[in-house]
Amino acid sequence: MFPDTDSKRCAILKATLELVAERGFHDTPMSQVAKRSGASPGVIYHYFASKDELIRDLYKQVKTVKARAMLQGDFDDVPPKEAFKRSWRNAYDFYRTHRLEARFLEQYENSPYHCPTDLQELAREDKNFAILARRLGLVDGGSPFKPLPSDIVHDLSFAVAARLARRAPDEPLDDATLDDIAEGCWRAVARNP
C-alpha cells in the first residue's frame, strides 16, 4: 500500500494504520505498534521522533493513496464537471475498498491533528493533488466552484461519497444512482452548474 521501499518503515505504518482504525489514536500505544509491526520501540523511534510524527506521516501516506485512487481513469480533455464526477466516483470507490484507510482518515480529520487545507495548498505539497487540481480546473487562478470555504466544498461533495460508502459497504449503489448523486454534489458546489 505504501510507496516506501523500506520494509520495516512500511510495517510500522501498516501496523499503526490497523491499530488506529481498530482502536483509535488514544488506544494505540507505541508498545502495540511495536508488537504488531515486529519492530522494537527503538527502531520505531529511529524512523519517527514521536507518535505524533508517526500519525502525521501516516496521514500523508494515506492521503497519497487516496489521491492516486481519485485519479484513476481517463481524464484527458474532459470539462471540470465531468472531471469532478469521475473524481467523486473514484472517491466513493476508494472509501468502499480501502476500509482501514477510510476509518483512519475519518478519525484523523475529526481530531486535533487535522489542520484543513485547500486543494491548491495540497497541490503544492503533493504531485497527485496537483494533477487533481488541474483536472478539476483549479489552476491558473480560476475555479469552477462557488466561493465557499474549502472544507464546506468538501463536505458537500467528497464527504458525501465517504458517507455513502460507509453506509452499505457490501451493497454498493448502482451506477445510475451514483451518477445522480455526483450530479447533485456538483450542483451544490459548482459556480455555474
Assess contact for 181 and 167: CB atoms under 8 A: no
The number of residues making up the chain comes to 193
CB atoms near residue 107 (< 10 Å): 17
Nearest to 145 by CA among 114, 111, 128, 120: 120
pLDDT tens digit at each of 193 positions of the chain: 665 567 899 999 999 999 999 999 889 999 999 999 999 999 999 999 999 999 999 998 998 899 889 989 888 788 889 989 999 999 999 999 999 999 999 988 888 777 766 666 666 777 777 777 777 777 666 688 888 887 888 899 999 999 999 887 678 889 999 999 999 999 999 988 7
**Where do the domains of the chain lie, and which CATH numbers do they carry?**
1-48 (1.10.10.60), 59-189 (1.10.357.10)
Q: How far apart are CA 121 and CA 101, in angstroms?
A: 22
Q: How far apart are CA 190 and CA 180, in angstroms?
A: 15
Please compute, for residue 84, the number of CA atoms within 13 A of its CA located in the half-sphere on the CB side.
Answer: 28
C-alpha cell at 142: 480560476
pLDDT of 113 reads 76
